[in-house]
Amino acid sequence: MMSFDRVIGCVGTFYKTAGKRLTLDSLTVITEEISRHYGKTYIGIEGYNVDWSRGYGHIYHNSWSGGEKTVSVKGIYFASGDVNIKEEPCEFIDIHDKPPWNGKKTLAIRKRNKTRRLEKLPKAFDMTRAGNLLEWLQNNGIEGDAVYCSICRDYFPGTDDLNLCEHCWWCDKNGEYSTPSERCKCKDREECNDRD
C-alpha cells in the first residue's frame, strides 16, 4: 500500500443479502498526495476489494490504483469527503444465472441492491476511532488475500496456510491457492509443496 498524505474522500459499496444484512464489498479511496520530487499536489485513487468472513470479519486488499476522481457506483454505497459520484444500475448476478442475466434470482438481487446512497453507515461500523472507512478497515479488518472455500462457504485470510481451512492451501507449483472450486492440477497437497 502506498503511503497516503491525506485521505480526502472514500466511497464504500455494500451488498445486501437476502437476509437484509449489509456487507462492505469494495472501497475506493481518494487522496491528496504531495510529490516528494516536484513538491506538487496530486490526486491519487486506490481501490480495495473487501470480503466478509464469518470467522475472521473483513478481509481486504488493494486491487487497483489510478483512474478518475469521479467514482462510478453500481449498487448501495456510502460516500464521505470530497468525491464525485456517478450512479449506474446495479450489475450483481446470481452465480447460477447465464446471459442475458435476467433470471429470477438475479432480478431479486438487483432489486435488493438497487443503486442508492446510504445517509449513514450500518451500525457495525463504529467510526469513533476512525476518520474514514479505510482507517476503520485498517483498525478492524485483515489486510491480505481472501480465499473462498465452497465447502465451508466462507472466506479465509490467505496470509498463511494456518488461517486456511483444511480444504484450501497454497500450491507452490502454480503459485496460486488450491481450493475446492479451483483445484490445482497436482495429485495431492504434498505434490503442491514439493519444490523439486
Give yes or no: residues 108 and 80 share one domain: yes
Quote the pLDDT of residue 3: 43
Average pLDDT over residues 77-83: 94
Give yes or no: residues 184 and 127 share one domain: no
Q: Does residue 88 sit within a domain?
A: yes
Give yes or no: residues 125 and 164 share one domain: no
Q: Does residue 136 sit within a domain?
A: yes
Are 52 and 23 spatial neighbours (Cβ–Cβ below 8 Å)? yes
Quote the pLDDT of residue 2: 41
Give yes or no: residues 69 and 158 share one domain: no
The DSSP string of 104-162 is: HHHHHHHHHT-SEE-SS--TT--GGG-SSHHHHHHHHSEES-EEEETTTTEEEETTSGG
Q: Please state the pTM of the whole predicted model.
A: 0.88
Q: Does residue 170 sit within a domain?
A: yes
pLDDT of 40 > 60? The answer is yes
Quote the pLDDT of residue 86: 96
Mean of all residue pLDDT scores within the chain: 91
Q: Does residue 164 sit within a domain?
A: yes
For residue 162, the enclosing domain spans 146-193
Domain boundary among 112, 127, 143: 143
pLDDT of 195 > 70? The answer is no
The larger pLDDT score, comparing residue 52 to residue 36, is at: 52
Give yes or no: residues 69 and 152 share one domain: no
Give yes or no: residues 127 and 185 share one domain: no
Give yes or no: residues 171 and 102 share one domain: no
Q: Does residue 90 sit within a domain?
A: yes
Give yes or no: residues 116 and 180 share one domain: no
Q: Does residue 166 sit within a domain?
A: yes
Q: Does residue 1 sit within a domain?
A: no
Give yes or no: residues 139 and 85 share one domain: yes
Q: Does residue 23 sit within a domain?
A: yes
* Domains: count for the chain: 2
Element of type H or E holding 15: strand 6-16
Give yes or no: residues 161 and 118 share one domain: no
Confidence of residue 147 (pLDDT cuts 50, 70, 90): very high
Give yes or no: residues 88 and 64 share one domain: yes
Confidence of residue 101 (pLDDT cuts 50, 70, 90): very high
Q: Is 70 exposed, middle or buried (0-12, 13-18, 19+ CB in 10 A)?
A: exposed
Give yes or no: residues 151 and 112 share one domain: no
C-alpha to C-alpha distance for 31 and 42, rounded to whole angstroms: 8
